[in-house]
Amino acid sequence: MPQDDGVLPRWAVTRWLVECAGVVPAEIRPSLVQGLYGSLPIFLGGVFNTILVSSIVAIRIPTPAFLFWAALEIGLATLRLPLLVKGSRAAKSGKRAHIDLYILAAVCWAASVGYGCFITVLSGDWLAATLVVLSAAAMTGGVAFRNFSAPRLVMVMIMLSLGPCAMAGVISGKLIMLATALQIPMYIYAMTHAAYRLNAMLVQTMRSERENGRRACQDTLTGLLNRAGLEDVVARRADSTESGATLFYIDLDGFKTINDTLGHAAGDQLLVEVSQLMRQVTPTMDAVARIGGDEFIILANEMDPTTARQTAQRLIDTLRGTSFVVNGNAVKISASVGISIRPQAGPDLSTLMLDADGALYAAKQKGRSRAVLASGTLPNLYLACDQGSSFQSVSCLIRESRTPGAVAT
């Protein structure tokens, strides 16, 4: 979906931060980035904790360095919260979100925590240092949990928040603090490894969900949409600003004879080749679907009657003029087409198909291998037009229902 481009970062550094190890399908990446906006309670808990701790330490040690840290935490919180709320709403609606600023603010927050750890350990106030370091270590769990959809971001944030603590421990010269030079790197590695593992599990789950979704909406034989997939396309069109729709209901003429004569395997092969040809003939159509047996649906934007008939006739002529080879046998096939045109995007698939189905039946009754347009003005009435006639002046067959014998001339 094009709108997903608005979710992905634009800056090279922020794109690198949200990239994952291995190959991630393009359709999954936007969802992974959207995951960075989740878990608002964890975010609020982390912000409250850092502001509280930095303020307490600033009161205890009211030097410019600590007062600056407290002010920095408050400023970052004031920046990050609106970015989170607005970005989350924008991502859900497919609009451009300030994801680059949001990621950059998160990195700055991690760096501010690391700055606080660094100056507190070097202050020699071990009570304050214990509070700050334990608080920072506890928050890394929240960092990993909130951001494991972007494990590189997790790694950078934990390194920025805890790495300065290890550096300060070495600089302090205290033997007990030297242990942090060994402990914290191992802790950073463990949390980063956990984030990568969780990310791999998430990506695999999302891949499986999308594959299952594709299978649920895809005809297993031809690879075209099935009825469920077609209903999804129609539903999306109804929610969009599309003005209307044209539906072509196609039934292959004489397919049962070919299937019975050459076997079901040959019939399946023919269906696959016909579906490939339909894709080639209708490259700009919204959807091409096989809804069962030898019945196909093509969905397109609203057309005028002449264009719709010409499109259907082109498909009929292409099928009739193609020699398919199945199991070494040259096979000819033709098709009848029922056309339904709706000037509004509102009708559901059943309504569109009901109109086109009646028109298709009329085409079969008129001798097959022809296109018939369903009347858009008379409910449940269909105009079956001879191939040579126009829609402005036609010799028509008017039909009230699909019941044989209910056709009036």
- Per-residue model confidence (pLDDT) at position 155: 92
One-letter amino acid at 128 equals A
- Do 181 and 238 fall within a single domain? no
- State the DSSP string of 359-378: HHHHHHHTTSSSEEEEPSSS
Torsion sign (Cα): 335, 338, 344, 349 = negative
Residue 326 lies in a domain: yes
Q: Mean pLDDT check: name the lowest of 30-39, 71-80, 383-392.
A: 383-392
Residue 222 lies in a domain: no
- Do 30 and 153 fall within a single domain? yes
Distance CA 353, CA 337 (A): 12
pLDDT in tens, 90-116: 767 767 778 899 999 999 999 999 999
SS3 content of the chain, % helix, strand, coil (to 5): 60, 15, 25
- Do 81 and 111 fall within a single domain? yes
Mean pLDDT of 11-35: 81
pTM summary value: 0.63
Tokens matching residue 253:
């003429």
Reported confidence tier of residue 6, pLDDT bands at 50, 70, 90: low
3-state secondary structure 140-174: HHHHHHHHCCCHHHHHHHHHHHHHHHHHHHHHHCC
Tokens matching residue 35:
């995951």
pLDDT in tens, 47-67: 899 999 999 999 999 999 999
- Per-residue model confidence (pLDDT) at position 357: 92
- Do 272 and 334 fall within a single domain? yes
- Per-residue model confidence (pLDDT) at position 295: 93
Residue 221 lies in a domain: no
Residue 328 lies in a domain: yes
Query: Is residue 406 over pLDDT 50?
Result: no
Q: Which residue has the higher pLDDT, 137 or 281?
A: 137
How big is the chain, counted in residues?
A: 409
Distance CA 248, CA 406 (A): 23
Mean pLDDT of 306-325: 91
Domains of the chain: total: 2
Residue 200 lies in a domain: yes
- Per-residue model confidence (pLDDT) at position 389: 35
- Per-residue model confidence (pLDDT) at position 398: 31
Where helices occur in 173-263 by DSSP H, the ranges are: 175-178, 180-216, 227-239, 255-262
- Do 150 and 212 fall within a single domain? yes
Cβ–Cβ under 8 Å, residues 290 and 271: yes
- Per-residue model confidence (pLDDT) at position 56: 96
One-letter amino acid at 246 equals T
Domain residues for the domain of 404 are 227-408
- Do 75 and 155 fall within a single domain? yes
Distance CA 221, CA 215 (A): 11
